Amino acid sequence: MLLKTITLIACLLFCLNSSVLAQQSCTTPLNANGECIVVTKCSSLLALLQKSRRTQQETQFLRNSQCGSEGRNPKVCCEIQAQPTGQGRPSTCTTAEGSAGTCKDIYQCPALLTLFNAPKPLSPNVVTRLRQSSCQGPARISVCCGNPTSRNPANVDALLPKDSECGRSGDQDRIFGGNETAIDQYPWMALVEYRTRRNTLSLSCAASLISKRYLVTAGHCATGDIVSQVGTPESVRLGEWDKTTGQDCVKVSGGDNDCNDEPVSIRIEEVIPHPQYLPTTATGQKNDIALLRLASDAPVTDFIKPICLPKRDITVGLSSRAINLIVAGWGTTETNRPSNRKLHLAVPFVTLAECQSHYQTERLKAELWNKQICAGGEVGKDSCRGDSGGPLVYFNENKFDLIGVVSFGPSPCGLANVAGVYSNVYGYLDWIRGEIKP
């Protein structure tokens, strides 16, 4: 039964390709010596094939490994040393990030395999990282692979807000187009406070509260240039509306004053960039996402509330401009200065295919993938510098879901036919759930 299933899955992957002439020795997609054998006999690739959720790269790796077929069974180029030998058991080690890991064949470490598999030549960052990960192990290329966080998803659910406790925003009586929000609108929004070398606080990025202890922001707001050029992320400011004043008050209909509470600053205990986010100056940054863990619980008030994580990928089957998403932040406006007040804007969804066509020119080159989502492309309506890390949200079933994280876009912002690019939160749910601790 299991074998049948495997053959079936394998067929879905390989049978579309016409079969190639079988041959004994071969070169793997990673340029190693291999043997062309039936996939069921190649433990490393079989493990990849049996994974329930493969990344695009892993699927591509499997496809590139095909070297023929035997009846209905695809044959793959299996690295010779990757075969189980009986001896050379995996041993424990410390990963490049300093966590507990197992020294094993790189083929059995999807996270590092993805890096290894990146288009050649590998960037110096990737090379360094792979070098730091190498270990004396069972295979020709052995790496110290982080142990999967063995956490019961049920426990994680207890750490995230219930559906009835997230994504509730204040009244939405305003028109979009880069307008001020109400003071209680999007209460999950936070400003990241960076400690500069001159010992001041700089507000250069936004983030979204997803639980009492965690916020989601951009990878480039957590690590890389921002740290050398701005400072270290020290705290997050929650419940803010107008950055320049403590308590904010606005006139509401009837002439009354409506005020919020003083914003609160909470220290960041841990900055967790996505392990595959590689800080480079190049645009098109993949995995531009990070978690911020707070040193103490965020309060829940009318002005501070978590947003919901998405339950499904809302972009599946959507055509461009089929829905509007909302982006909000304190970033640069058409006046070329950051906004003091929280602003919001509706931006139309744009398919990845259409969006990729926006990023083909010399000046704006980026290779997009399905863990990114595009929105915007209308003149004068865009997120901009300083909005990074902030939320792209969708109102669904009476609550707001965090769909995207502001990553990059055209410069200057708001060009016609160049959508902004956001990290697709749905693609990072497993990572987020794996990182969240009590």
- The CB-of-345 to ligand ARG minimum distance in angstroms stands at 10
Residue from 58, 420, 423, 425 touching ligand ARG (CB under 6 A): that is 420
| Segment interacting with ligand ARG (CB under 6 A) among 43-51, 60-68, 81-89, 386-394 | 386-394
Other Cβ atoms within 10 Å of 159 Cβ, number = 16
The yes or no reply on residue 67 touching ligand ARG (CB under 6 A) is: no
DSSP, res 158: H
Catalytic member of 248, 288, 382, 387: 288
* Residue 62: burial class (beta carbons within 10 Å; 0-12, 13-18, 19+): buried
Q: Distance between CA atoms of 403 and 316, rounded to whole angstroms?
A: 13
Looking at beta carbons only, is 90 or 329 nearer to ligand ARG? 329
| Segment interacting with ligand ARG (CB under 6 A) among 36-44, 228-236, 245-253, 405-413 | 405-413
Residue from 39, 207, 343, 406 touching ligand ARG (CB under 6 A): that is 406
Cα–Cα nearest to 305, from 268, 335, 246, 261:
261
Catalytic member of 383, 388, 407, 423: 388
Q: Distance between CA atoms of 191 and 169, rounded to whole angstroms?
A: 17
- The CB-of-202 to ligand ARG minimum distance in angstroms stands at 12
Residue from 35, 409, 427, 436 touching ligand ARG (CB under 6 A): that is 409
Q: Are 48 and 62 in contact (CB under 8 A)?
A: yes
- The CB-of-382 to ligand ARG minimum distance in angstroms stands at 5
The yes or no reply on residue 410 touching ligand ARG (CB under 6 A) is: yes
387 is catalytic: no
Looking at beta carbons only, is 160 or 290 nearer to ligand ARG? 290
51 CA to centre of own chain: 20
288 is catalytic: yes
388 is catalytic: yes
The yes or no reply on residue 338 touching ligand ARG (CB under 6 A) is: no
The yes or no reply on residue 385 touching ligand ARG (CB under 6 A) is: yes
Binding residues with ligand ARG: total (CB under 6 A) = 14
Looking at beta carbons only, is 64 or 196 nearer to ligand ARG? 196
Q: Distance between CA atoms of 187 and 199, rounded to whole angstroms?
A: 28
Residues 6 or more apart whose Cβ sits within 8 Å of residue 9: 49, 50
Half-sphere exposure of 302 (CA within 13 A, CB side): 11
Half-sphere exposure of 188 (CA within 13 A, CB side): 32
Instruction: Please give the order of strands across the beta sheet that includes 91-94.
Output: 91-94, 100-105, 142-146
Residue 75 has which token pair? 């044959």
Question: Rule CB under 6 A: which residues touch ligand ARG?
Answer: 331, 382-388, 406, 408-410, 413, 420
* Residues identified as active-site: 220, 288, 388
